[in-house]
Structures are given as C-alpha cells and as structure tokens.
Amino acid sequence: MVRSVWILLVLGCLGAAGGASAQDKTSPVKSEAASPAPPTASASSEANTGLKVPPVFSKKKPETLADLREMEAHLKAVAAKVGPTVVGLQIGRAQGSGVIVTGDGYVLTAGHVSGAPDGRARVILPSGQIVEGRTLGRVRGSDAGLIKIQGERTDWPHTAMAAEGSIEEGEWCLTLGHPGGFNKERAAPLRFGRVLGMSPNTIQTDCELVGGDSGGPVFDMAGQVIGINSRIGPQTAMNFHVAIDVYREHWETMKSGEDVKEHSGAFLGIAGTKVSAGLKITKVFRDSPADKAGLKADDVLVTFQGKKVDELEQLIELVGEEEPGRKVRLQVLRDGKPKDFELTLAVLPD
C-alpha cells in the first residue's frame, strides 16, 4: 500500500510543478531590490525562503500514509514557491534551463549551457514571455555559468542560494528544469530524490534528468538552490550537479564576465567498451597517464579508486570527480589475472 501511494506522491508532485507557474511580476518568492554579490545566506534556511521543513524529511523514508501526505503537501508548497524563478534558456541553437537568484536578474545555469561570455541569451519566463539576457562568466572545470537579464528591473522573482557548506549527504532534494526545451503548455516538471554523494565542486543525486534539464536548479526542502544540473548520467543515480559553493566562490569573477579555466578536468587516457567483467580497454592514448603506467589494450578495467567500473560513461564521471595531479588506484584483469596500478592523473587536453 505504501509503495503504491509513494508512486501517487511522485505523480502528484509532477502535477504540482505543472501548476507552479505564476505571473512573473507577482512572485511569492523574494521581490526586494538587488541582493549583494554573492547573494547573502541566512544561517536559517527558513529565514531565506519562509518555508518550514516538516519533520518527515528528517526520516530516511516515509513510514505511514500520513508521512506521504505531509511530504506531498510540502513538495507542492516548494514548487509553488520556487516555480516562478525557474527559466528556460536559448543561447544560439542550444537550449537549457536556469534559475533567477537576485532581484536584478542574475541567472545561474551550467557553463556548457551559457557558453562563452558576452553572448546573447534569450531567457524564457514561466509565462512564456521572452526577455533578453547576456552570458557572463563561467567556470569551465566545474561547469558553472552565469547570465544577466538585461534592463533596470530590480524586482525579478528569485530564490535564495543555500549557504556555503550546507549540503548534507542523504538529504531530500528536488529539481526543476525544461526537459526537451521550454514548453508553454506546462511548467518545469518536478523530480524528487536525495543527495547521494558530494565532492567540493559536485553533488550527485538520484533526481531523474533528461536532455534540456541542464542548467536547471536543485533545491533543498527549504526551497534554496543547492546545485545546478550539469551531467546527466546513463542511470538515474548517476546525475551530477554543480555545487552551489562553486557559484559563491567565483561570484565576482563570473559577474565580471571572466572565463575561468581552472583546469579542464582530469585525464586518464583510455577508451573502452563494456564487457561482463568491467570495461575492456580498446585504446590507450600515447603519453597519457594510462600509457605511462603500463595499461594496455585488451586489459579489462575492474575498479577505479575502489569503485567497480561497468562502462565508459561511468569511468568518465569517476575521473571527472578527481583533480589533475592526484594519484589514483586501478585494478585490471590482464589475461584473466588481476593486476593493480597506481598512476597520476593529468590535465584534460583542451
């Protein structure tokens, strides 16, 4: 019974998100003048959004029908609160999502959505109205991007960014975005899940994402932005989001339009294909860390940093979580026998 009601809860949340649109000038979220940069965060999440998080969200799972009803009611409240701040984006031929976080129209999105600084952006409001924006800075290594809505308006509907270091593994979260691009017949659908893991620049959730969700916000149960959709994995539990701490750390440089390269990511240097035992290496790139460590074509990669490797997309995600220059451990099967390697990751070539 609880399982069937849980399915109804999720479906009900999707319906709630569909009704979350509001007139863009009458947001139930904040409407005061422009926030400082970076936007300040209160120690209390309730002070930021006015949403009180019910005790049921401190549980690992709902235990009763009453729990499910309480969760559903709160998710509807969060969707109604933050829905007017979630926008669609068009930059050239690319489409994505974003979220307004200041009254004067700064929009968080993914760096691969915003693209290079000082480009034209079309910001699609929940009502379907299109306003002009400009792309500002981005942080390439973390995939963080920033856009500014053009004009002098200071009362854009916006929502709060969570405080630095406030994300907790296991906490409930939800994401809104425009899968398949903006659709005026419905608001941004809501997906519900939990934070499964974290690194300094990335959070991982099991909120289900599809194309077009890139750049959309991830909210905690108080309606604060805790991350931005970045990499959509091949499995539900393999979706990655830019942590809100990245935007706070680089706020001023992004506002100024700087294209922050940091590093372009870590580099291992193999290609492969999925086999029953793991990932069969089909190519080792010359002078790559894998080449220097002695990995060979036809080796089968079994684990990376102790985590089982099943396919190339997963390995890309695992390597992407590491910093260039870091030593990592791998285990492969060579001629059917396990063999351990330790190597130092390089910087991903541009």
Same-domain status, 239 and 338: no
Per-residue pLDDT of 113-136, as tens digits, reads 999 999 999 999 999 999 999 999
Which CATH number does the domain housing residue 305 bear? 2.30.42.10
Q: Is the pLDDT of residue 23 over 50?
A: no
pLDDT value of residue 311: 84
Q: What is the pLDDT of residues 62-94, one digit of tens each?
A: 899 999 999 999 999 999 999 999 999 999 888
Residues 184 and 256 in one domain: yes
How many independent structural domains does the chain possess?
2
Nearest Cα to Cα of residue 129 among 17, 30, 24: 24
pLDDT class of 262 with cuts at 50, 70, 90: low
What is the percent of the chain with per-residue pLDDT over 70, rounded to a whole number? 82
What the block records as the tokens of 262 is: 């940091």
Boundary-marking domain end, from 260, 288, 307: 260
Does 149 fall in a domain?
no
> Is residue 320 predicted with pLDDT exceeding 90?
no
In a shared domain, residues 206 and 75: yes
Residue 32's CATH number: 2.40.10.10
User: What is the per-residue pLDDT for 8?
Assistant: 34
pLDDT digits (tens, 9 = 90+) for 158-184: 999 999 888 888 899 999 988 777 887
Do residues 167 and 254 both lie within one domain?
yes
CA separation, residue 66 to residues 6, 221, 316, 319 (Å): 11, 18, 42, 43
Q: Indicate the helix (H) or strand (E) that contains 74.
A: helix 65-82
Is residue 337 one of the residues assigned to a domain? yes
| Cα 95 to Cα 48: distance, rounded to the nearest angstrom | 30
Query: Domain range spanning residue 11?
Result: 2-85+158-260
Q: Examine residue 94 and state whether it is found in any structural domain, yes or no.
A: no
> Do 167 and 65 share a domain, yes or no?
yes
Q: Are residues 249 and 167 in the same domain?
A: yes
The pTM assigned to this predicted structure is: 0.68
Average pLDDT of the residues in 291-305: 96
Same domain, 219 and 72: yes
145 within a domain of the structure (yes/no) = no
Could you tell me if residue 128 is inside a domain?
A: no
Lowest mean pLDDT among 103-107, 124-128, 181-185, 195-199: 181-185
Query: Is there a contact between 231 and 316 (Cβ–Cβ < 8 Å)?
Result: no
Boundary (domain end) residue, out of 260, 275, 296 = 260
* 43 plus 180 within the same structural domain: yes
**In-domain check, residue 123:** no
Q: Which residues pair with 134 in a beta bridge?
A: 120, 148
Q: What tokens appear for 45 in the block?
A: 């999440």
At residue 264 the predicted structure's pLDDT band, cuts being 50, 70 and 90, is: low
The answer as to whether 112 is a domain residue is no
CA–CA separation, 22 and 14 (whole Å):
16
Answer yes or no: do 177 and 304 share one domain: no
What confidence category does residue 200 fall into, taking pLDDT thresholds of 50, 70 and 90? confident
Q: Do 192 and 307 have their domain in common?
A: no
Q: Which band of pLDDT confidence, cut at 50, 70 and 90, is reported for residue 235?
A: low
Residue that is last in its domain, among 220, 241, 260:
260
Q: What is the pLDDT of residue 135?
A: 97
